[in-house]
């Protein structure tokens, strides 16, 4: 099936998103000349592949529940915001709040992510090939973040049950976060996807308590739902022994 061609130079954002929503499952589309356009490929539930050919603006792929979106460039704020299922891949850098409040799916940023990446994460996987800015993982409640480079200040501040893997240096930790060396089981889980972080960040014991006082609630590692889209990422994950 030939891809559907949609040009931002000729169509409004509403027209482009309506055309994407009308595609049948299995279809592909190319969005041309985005030139920093905001809100592209948002609110879609069909299982389609969408290639955005250039730099895009805010909220790209937000509220997605099925499509695979690839941005061949950089993105602005909140890429993949409130993602439910499917994937968003950015071949460049992403601005602030990447993956904010995501509940599922997989977000891949091949470059760097700015501050507050993974803020209020509620599930799914965020993988950043480069560095992340300050306050990343703030109030992350569930899911997994994997960081191939360094992390800025206050990483994991007010962390709940999410787990953050960091291959590089951590400038400082936020409140209620602690560093743990990877266990043999943890390394096996990460290597099963072809990657392993050097260290992982987990909540402090007080934060692991059930909010209703029902006793400890275990922190579980979650494998990416769509690991096949991670192939070809340029960063290399290593275990502590390497």
Record the tokens describing residue 165, joined without a space: 């893997």
240 domain-assigned: no
Query: Which residues lie across from 209 on neighbouring strands?
Result: 216
Confidence of residue 1 (pLDDT cuts 50, 70, 90): confident
For 226, phi then psi, to 5°, come to: -130, 65
242 domain-assigned: no
Q: Which domain holds residue 39?
A: 4-227
Report the number of distinct structural domains present in the chain. 1
241 domain-assigned: no
- pLDDT, average across residues 38-60: 98
Residue 231 pLDDT? 42
Query: Which residue is it, tokens 């279809």?
Result: 27
pLDDT of 209 higher than 50 = no
Residue 176 pLDDT? 83
Record the tokens describing residue 138, joined without a space: 């703030």
Q: Chain-wide mean pLDDT for the chain? A: 83
Q: pTM of the full predicted structure? A: 0.81
75 domain-assigned: yes
DSSP 128-145: ESS-B-TTTTTT--EEEE
Confidence of residue 220 (pLDDT cuts 50, 70, 90): very low
Give the lowest-confidence range in 25-29, 115-119, 153-157, 211-215.
211-215
Query: Rounded CA gap, 132 and 118, in Å?
Result: 10
DSSP letter assigned to residue 216: B
Nearest to 13 by CA among 43, 45, 48, 47: 43
Nearest to 164 by CA among 90, 152, 184, 70: 152
237 domain-assigned: no
- What's the sign of the alpha-carbon dihedral 113, 114, 116, 119? negative
- pLDDT, average across residues 121-128: 96
187 domain-assigned: yes
Nearest to 54 by CA among 33, 69, 70: 33
Give the DSSP H/E element, type plus range, for residue 51.
Answer: strand 49-53
Residue 184 pLDDT? 55
130 domain-assigned: yes
Looking up residue 223, the CATH number of its domain turns out to be 2.160.20
Q: Which residues, at least 6 apart from 169, have a Cβ–Cβ distance to it below 8 Å? A: 150, 151
Query: Which residue is it, tokens 């992510």?
Result: 113
pLDDT tens per residue across span 3-26: 999 999 999 999 999 999 999 999
239 domain-assigned: no
pLDDT of 58 higher than 80 = yes
């Amino acid at each position: 099936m030939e891809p559907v061609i949609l040009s931002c130079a000729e169509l409004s954002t509403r027209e482009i998103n309506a055309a994407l929503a009308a595609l049948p499952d299995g279809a592909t589309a190319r969005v041309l000349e985005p030139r920093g356009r905001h809100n592209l490929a948002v609110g879609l539930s069909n299982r389609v592949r969408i290639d955005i050919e250039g730099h895009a603006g805010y909220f790209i792929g937000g509220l997605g529940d099925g499509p695979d979106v690839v941005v061949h460039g950089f993105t602005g704020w909140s890429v993949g915001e409130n993602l439910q299922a499917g994937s968003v891949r950015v071949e460049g850098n992403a601005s602030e709040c990447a993956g904010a409040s995501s509940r599922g799916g997989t977000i891949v940023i091949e470059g760097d992510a700015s501050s507050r990446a993974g803020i209020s994460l509620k599930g799914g996987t965020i993988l950043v090939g480069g560095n992340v800015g300050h306050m990343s993982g703030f109030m992350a409640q569930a899911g997994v973040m994997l960081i191939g480079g360094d992390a800025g200040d206050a990483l994991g501040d007010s962390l709940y049950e999410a787990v953050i893997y960091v291959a590089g240096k951590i400038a400082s930790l936020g409140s209620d976060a602690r560093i743990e060396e990877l266990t043999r089981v943890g390394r096996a889980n990460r290597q099963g996807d072809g990657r392993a972080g050097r260290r992982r960040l987990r909540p402090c014991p007080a934060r692991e308590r059930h909010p209703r006082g029902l006793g400890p609630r275990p922190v579980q590692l979650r494998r990416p739902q769509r690991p096949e889209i991670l192939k070809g990422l340029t960063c290399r994950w290593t275990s502590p022994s390497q």
